[in-house]
Structure 1
Amino acid sequence: MEDPAVLVLKRAVELDSASRFQESLVCYQEGIDLLMRVLKATKDQKKKAHYRDKITSYMDRAEEIKKYIEKEKEDGKYHKQIKIEENSKGFSYEKLFQEYLNETVTEVWVEDPYIRQVHQLYNFLRFCEMLVKGPCKVKTIHLLTSHDEGNEKSQQMTTLEEIQQSLKDFGVILDVSYSPSIHDREIRFNNGWMIKIGRGLDYFKKPQGRFCLGYCDFDLRPCHETTVDIFHTKHTKKT
């Protein structure tokens, strides 16, 4: 157990030195946990004292980083980047967004040109379900997307109207706008959080079948490769 702890804490120090504080904090926390297990399993009192000193030192540094990150958030300078690898799992909307959806969130802006095809409309519906379940108190969702072409345009509009009516039953207004020139993908909350996903909400792969794991639970669904950038700004631009 000692060797894994040493490796993780060494990585934490390297990330810390490179000013990659968010990643270093995760490694510090994991390394401290591993070292605590080593401490519990150790009988030698001198080694116990050594481990306690090390744990205290790493915990102090982790606490400093935590306070620094919180200050960055308050000052609107926070930036976190998540790399979603090809075929990776565990990136449901809940996992990505819940951390930023506190009770102050009442208004949400979604800008995504590809809420058009059936699976993309289902993705948007799942996103709305997550918002309604809380803990946020969302009252208004603004969607800016582009029109589908041909016969699918009518299906797109009908589906969004159906989602709109369903949200209304939960006391939520869905405001839908269309733009032929939209190309950026961005999600904003009125508490100052902004999330940019390279592929927008459409980063999940098609399930292998209707009765395969991952069809219902998106944490079990393989993903396309994409990058998620999360920012915090003092003033969220409203459209």
Structure 2
Amino acid sequence: MSQNHVSGMEASAVSVLKRAVELDQSSRFQEALVCYQEGIQLLMDVLKAVKEDSKKLHYREKIKGYMDRAEQIKVHVNQLKEDGKYHEQIRIAEDATGYSYESLFKPYISSSLTEVWVEDPYIRHIHQLYNFLRFCEMLLKAPCKVKRIHLLTSQDEVDSGQQSSGQQSSALAELKQSLQAQGVSLELQYSSTIHDREIRFDNGWIIKIGRGLDYFKKHKGRFSIGYCDYDLRQCQETTVDIFHTKHTKTL
């Protein structure tokens, strides 16, 4: 393996671990844990590639330090979960980027996740329906085996009138059919009084986003950066609160 490749891996590890420390210091422990684990794996790859004993010793000591901290966080998080006291808050600033659904939800998705509940009154207009589609695609790509997604939303004004072929109902019917082909069932429910926005995973995580799934700014054009990749799309200011419960209620 070339020296340049090793240097590149080391730079990646340093970047991820720096982020882990920042998250750790901000008490965003679950996110920090994911970054520590990724960074440790990158350092282990570097360790395998270096030849000098002095460098091997240096990386082993670094890895041990980060592994010890990751274990401390894991114990702390598990205790907070057990006591029902886990609460983490993320503030997404106006015009911030880097908050695609993959990035935001990744720390809370585990292999045990099989069922998801989404309460969001604004899955009605075309861009909101696309947001929900992206959220479902994110779940299908994630390292879990989601079998059922529940959506509770408000009904579009067109759909609640005499017309039965409204944009919302046809879009969700198409998505339901498409998910079914992937082995995932979509359960739809409508409410005229819903105002809370909440996403619940059956592994115990509850994520409350002030703006629901609709926290991205309108794209500046179909050929502008951020149109396809939501990590590059600017966000509207909002707050994300994350909790953990041992019992996930159903809708």
**Equivalent residue number for residue 169 of structure 2:** 157
- 1:79 equivalent in alignment to 2:91: no
In our comparison, the structure showing a higher alpha carbon Rg is 1
After superposing the two structures, state which structure 1 stretch, 142-151 or 84-93, moved more. 142-151
Q: Match of 2:151?
A: 143
> Which of the numbers 201, 207, 221 marks the counterpart of 2:213?
201
Q: Specify which of 210, 224, 228 is matched with residue 236 of structure 2.
A: 224
Match of 1:111 among 113, 119, 130: 119
**Number of aligned pairs?**
209
Q: Which amino acid aligns with 1:169?
A: A
User: Structure 1 residues 159 and 21 mapped into 2: Cα distance closer, same or farther (>3 Å)?
Assistant: closer
For 1:183 and 1:57, locate their aligned partners in 2 and report how far apart those are by CA, in whole Å: 46
Please name the residue that 1:190 is paired with: 202
Q: Which residue of 2 aligns with 1:214?
A: 226
The answer for unaligned runs of 5 or more in structure 1 is 1-7, 34-55
CA RMSD of aligned residues (A): 3.4
Q: Taking structure 1 as reference, are residues 181 and 64 closer, same or farther at Cα in structure 2, changes over 3 Å only?
A: same
CA distance in 1, matches of 2:168, 2:69: 52
CA pair 162-74 structure 1, distance change in 2 beyond 3 A: same
User: Identity across aligned pairs (percent)?
Assistant: 62
Q: Secondary structure at the match of 2:157?
A: coil
Q: Shift of the alpha carbon at 1:75?
A: 3.6
1:51-74, Cα deviation, whole Å (9 max, x unpaired) = xxxxx9998677544421232134
Q: Distance in 2 between matches of 1:133 and 1:66?
A: 25
**Contact (CA 8 Å) 2:159, 2:169: kept in 1 or not?**
no
Equivalent position to 2:96, from 79, 82, 88: 88
Structure 2 CA distance for aligned equivalents of residues 76 and 118 of structure 1: 38
Residues 134-159 of structure 1 show CA distances to partners (whole Å, capped at 9, x for unaligned) of: 31111110000001113797111111
* Counterpart position of 2:106: 98
Secondary structure at the counterpart of residue 145 of structure 2: coil
After TM superposition, the score normalised by the length of structure 2 is: 0.72
- How far does the alpha carbon of each residue in 1:172-201 deviate from its partner, in whole angstroms, 9 at most, with x for none? 110101000000000001111100000000
